Chain A
């Protein structure tokens, strides 16, 4: 609000929060930022320290900088192939989850669906089901049907498990579109599919981008499904390989730290690119409730 910068409000803010109280809001903000950044900065520092310097003094921060740990982690943890394996399954899973959600959300919000309330409730119920609670049958059924050890199989399972919140979120967004818009397109003789692609999807496109970005991040990080449904060592994903690195090289902490940072790096990139959509979606999600 504009009034936040008027002299009066500043004076009031100082009076209420600044001079009288022991800790001002600025101090609190600085403490919070330091508390959040310190662990991250420390680990980055550890990953960039030469191993000899780390072994000599694990608690120091000196010893110069090196990128060798990142190369070692990449080589010894076989992170190159692991990255490929992740890329075989996660992007497809994210896209599938987003596409089924985009269709279903529209169907539930704007079309005539028999047993609509029941089916919508059924899909929303799935949001609340924790993955660990069904991981045993998923694993066994996967062995029977053949989606275990199959990249596309994992993508489809992820579409099922991550599509439901997207459906619910996009349902809310489609609901906000005026019916008159869709009715008038009907009058002009447009097909349901044409209306969906030419009117509904463009209007909620930022929300669909939100669903896609969050799906990518969530599925990338989902070690449980990747661990259980891609059990063969030659199909290990980035997450699984990196966690194995920790077990293998307990003494070389800098290398392990470097490996973990490499596993997280693509997500930081995705976040940097889609920050706008992610934050926007969160605002929408929080206010919809």
Chain B
């Protein structure tokens, strides 16, 4: 890691390649001492470079993290000081049916990950050898720039009861499929998955395309001359080559979306109907900020953090398993 830095600073006299006159007289001990103090000075400079970032993370991430765990064992509405109540918040959540709905919602939305990773992967592999691949990628990237609440508004117009999607379905003679996409339980989660797929698709395609460029086209041609089907090419060439990117994209989605549905939900349904599209992070907002129940909201925050921790552990376990047996 620190390769090449261990011998720094260079001996003061090495500028012209020969030991300087002053240094000739010093003992080895003194020389070591001089180097140590120089290293200390260097370490101080290093600290100054990283200190602002470390301090900001400590103040606005680490302290709030500790605080949220503390608050989760109290009841507090902002007046006076938090009153310790032990596990009462967690016990309340255990018995709260709406909270169970929220947990189920999060579990269902998690399945969206498959779509959010696979769709861009497949499109990238299909498109990247087209002549206009760059143009296609540019167009597909546009929605990813939109703020999530704008995407939410776009889809609340698209999926409205008599919105364009249902009209198109009726025109195609698929009127039976037309539904109230945003007000029917479970269907509303499908709408959320689809919306996020639309909004993240372009980034995924971008990531996968970056790695696809590295595959020599002779591989694919050889496979095709040997009569490989498209599905075989995908499975045997694209999948192994793109696996690291897939894992990376999976991780990015886990951190940025699966634990942070808030802006999407806020823009599309505001958690409704009832709690049918409320997620853990949205519940934190509803309970902790809108209702001002800081203790209960903090308990939900802690569960959100545990949910993330489980996801990351599963991800890491999968990686280790693959490395050991794959």
Assuming the contacts A13-B224, A32-B140, A104-B50, asked whether A136 and B57 have C-beta atoms less than 8 A apart, the reply is no
| B residues 145-174 touching A (CB-CB < 8 Å) | 145-150, 153-155, 157-158, 162-164, 167
Chain B residues contacting A126 (CB-CB under 8 Å) are 57, 61-62
Determine if B230 is an interface residue (Cβ-Cβ < 8 Å): yes
A135 vs B15: C-alpha distance in the bound complex, in angstroms?
A: 55
B153:A256 contact, CB within 8 angstroms: yes
A3:B126 contact, CB within 8 angstroms: no
Chain B residues contacting A17 (CB-CB under 8 Å) are 230
A103 vs B43: C-alpha distance in the bound complex, in angstroms?
A: 14
Chain B residues contacting A111 (CB-CB under 8 Å) are 42, 45-46, 49
Assuming the contacts A160-B57, A221-B148, A246-B153, asked whether A122 and B62 have C-beta atoms less than 8 A apart, the reply is yes
Determine if B198 is an interface residue (Cβ-Cβ < 8 Å): yes
Overall SS of chain B's interface: helix
A46 vs B304: C-alpha distance in the bound complex, in angstroms?
A: 38
Chain A residues contacting B78 (CB-CB under 8 Å) are 140
Closest to B69 in A: A137
Interface residues on A, range: 35 or more
Stretch in B107-115, B178-186, B206-214 touching the partner: B206-214
A112:B39 contact, CB within 8 angstroms: yes
Assuming the contacts A136-B294, A141-B64, asked whether A113 and B43 have C-beta atoms less than 8 A apart, the reply is yes
B126:A122 contact, CB within 8 angstroms: no
A108:B50 contact, CB within 8 angstroms: yes
Determine if A268 is an interface residue (Cβ-Cβ < 8 Å): yes
A136:B301 contact, CB within 8 angstroms: yes
- A161 to chain B minimum Cβ distance, whole angstroms, is 6
Checking B9, B167, B280 against A186 with a beta-carbon cut-off of 8 angstroms, the contacting residue is B9
Chain B residues contacting A38 (CB-CB under 8 Å) are 164
A242 vs B65: C-alpha distance in the bound complex, in angstroms?
A: 31
- A127 to chain B minimum Cβ distance, whole angstroms, is 7
Chain A residues contacting B130 (CB-CB under 8 Å) are 25-26, 29
Determine if B80 is an interface residue (Cβ-Cβ < 8 Å): no
Assuming the contacts A3-B221, A4-B217, asked whether A43 and B153 have C-beta atoms less than 8 A apart, the reply is yes
A123 vs B63: C-alpha distance in the bound complex, in angstroms?
A: 13
B45:A156 contact, CB within 8 angstroms: no
Determine if A234 is an interface residue (Cβ-Cβ < 8 Å): no
A43 vs B154: C-alpha distance in the bound complex, in angstroms?
A: 6
A59:B164 contact, CB within 8 angstroms: yes
Overall SS of chain A's interface: helix
A42:B53 contact, CB within 8 angstroms: no
- Complex interface bits, A82-111 against B, C-beta within 8 A gives 1, otherwise 0: 000000000000000000110110111011
B162:A59 contact, CB within 8 angstroms: yes
A164:B57 contact, CB within 8 angstroms: yes
Assuming the contacts A114-B47, A167-B53, A264-B150, asked whether A133 and B284 have C-beta atoms less than 8 A apart, the reply is yes
Determine if B263 is an interface residue (Cβ-Cβ < 8 Å): yes
A264 vs B147: C-alpha distance in the bound complex, in angstroms?
A: 7
A9:B301 contact, CB within 8 angstroms: no
Chain A residues contacting B145 (CB-CB under 8 Å) are 217, 264, 267-268, 271
B221:A12 contact, CB within 8 angstroms: yes
Stretch in A63-71, A203-211, A281-289 touching the partner: A281-289
- Complex interface bits, B256-296 against A, C-beta within 8 A gives 1, otherwise 0: 00011011001100000000000011101100110000100
- A197 to chain B minimum Cβ distance, whole angstroms, is 12
Determine if B305 is an interface residue (Cβ-Cβ < 8 Å): yes
A130:B142 contact, CB within 8 angstroms: no
Determine if A76 is an interface residue (Cβ-Cβ < 8 Å): no
Checking A15, A267, A287 against B147 with a beta-carbon cut-off of 8 angstroms, the contacting residue is A267
Checking B127, B228, B281, B294 against A28 with a beta-carbon cut-off of 8 angstroms, the contacting residue is B127
A156:B10 contact, CB within 8 angstroms: no
Assuming the contacts A12-B224, A15-B224, A134-B68, asked whether A192 and B230 have C-beta atoms less than 8 A apart, the reply is no
Chain B residues contacting A279 (CB-CB under 8 Å) are 141, 206
A137:B157 contact, CB within 8 angstroms: no
A275 vs B202: C-alpha distance in the bound complex, in angstroms?
A: 13
Chain B residues contacting A100 (CB-CB under 8 Å) are 52-53, 56
Checking B52, B61, B282 against A134 with a beta-carbon cut-off of 8 angstroms, the contacting residue is B61
A138 vs B284: C-alpha distance in the bound complex, in angstroms?
A: 13
Determine if A119 is an interface residue (Cβ-Cβ < 8 Å): yes
B56:A134 contact, CB within 8 angstroms: no
B8:A136 contact, CB within 8 angstroms: no
B136:A103 contact, CB within 8 angstroms: no
Assuming the contacts A122-B57, A136-B71, asked whether A127 and B210 have C-beta atoms less than 8 A apart, the reply is no
A28 vs B140: C-alpha distance in the bound complex, in angstroms?
A: 13
Q: List 19 A-B contacts (CB under 8 A).
A: A32-B201, A39-B154, A123-B54, A132-B260, A132-B262, A133-B68, A133-B281, A136-B297, A137-B64, A187-B10, A223-B149, A224-B266, A242-B149, A256-B153, A264-B146, A268-B142, A282-B206, A286-B211, A287-B214
Give the 5 A-B residue pairs with the shortest CB-CB distance, closest first: A107-B49, A221-B147, A132-B281, A111-B46, A104-B53
Residues of chain A having any CB pair with chain B under 8 Å = 1, 3-4, 8-9, 12-13, 15-17, 21, 25-26, 28-29, 32-33, 35-40, 42-43, 46, 58-59, 100-101, 103-104, 106-108, 110-114, 116, 119, 122-123, 125-141, 156-157, 159-161, 163-164, 167, 179-180, 183, 186-187, 192, 196, 217, 220-224, 228, 239, 242-243, 246, 253, 256-257, 260-261, 263-264, 267-268, 271, 275, 279, 282-283, 285-287, 289
